[in-house]
Structure 1
Amino acid sequence: MTTSGTPLARSEAELKHLMVAGLDGDAGAQERLLRAMLPLLRGFFGRRLGREADEVEDLVQETLIALHTRRATFDRDRPFTAWAYAVARYKLVDHFRRRRAHVPVEDVAEILLAEGFEDALSARLDVDRLLEGLSPKQARAIRDTKISGLSVAEAASDAKLSEADVKVSVHRGLKALAERLKGQ
């Protein structure tokens, strides 16, 4: 349950307190914050990269460095975890960009057609059309968890909702979509 005396999981309030204390000059709080983020970031990247352990650790380290060097951009009036996971998502996007092959601009149209870009665009428009009939909260919860791949905790933090509220919104939204599709 603990590693070197620190809990593996911390609450938003504890993490934000450590962040604010670090911003106010408490180097010990900053160090405790970064240590507390280790298991959270390993889980975040591990769920998205699977067994690529070396890449997970590299991304964890890059994110910890970014959290430290960009700490001045943190808005004290906002949730810490939403900000921290946004930094982690940017690091993940950068990782995927570095891994992809470079393609000459002239070949992009052919590649998009061959890879079903038009089908993907059409599917995206269909999903957007389906979600239009739901409440904004339900549509966002479904988009965040089922389409964007965020965990319930991440979606709740981003939307400033409880995890239970996100789960209920997803459940009710999917139920409403199922009913609508049955009627067509």
Structure 2
Amino acid sequence: MDGGEEAELARLLRTALQGDEKAYAEFLRRAASLVRGFARKRLAQGSIDPEDVVQETLLAIHLKRHTWQSDLPVGPWLYAIARFKMIDAFRKVGRRMEVVLDDAFDPPAPEPEEAASERDIGRVLDSLAPGQRAVVSSISVDGRSIGETAEALGMTEGAVRVALHRGLAVIAKKFGRG
């Protein structure tokens, strides 16, 4: 942006802040053009639509127009807002990660270590009292909920929680963590 364009933008914004709607519309039109060029240069094809950045920037300018100091240039203020809106757009895209998995995905075959782990689990469970063994196995190994376990074993949910806690405490003590 050259000095003449900077001066004209500043004049339009000053006039707009005094209530001139036509000056404000012209300021926004020119600002949109500048931000559009700024965004197109910096955004990769297809990652983020430059028009989204333009619209977000214009909205922020409208909401924060009172923060511009009339004795300072408009360009840096305008581009700072555009830069922050572009960063926000990248953050939004970064939060959503889409991964396409093939429908024919086959999980890897269990390795010998897993068989050893199953034996270890069996030994640990064998060291528990029968009621604790049934509860810990149902919840921790089979993945059932407390409610499902209570129903399957004919216990109350409170009794299942107590048996689970006690069983896990025995296991932790056996492995030196309790």
Q: TM-score, normalised by structure 1?
A: 0.48
Q: Which has the larger radius of gyration?
A: 2
Larger helix proportion of the pair = 1
| TM, length-normalised to structure 2 | 0.49
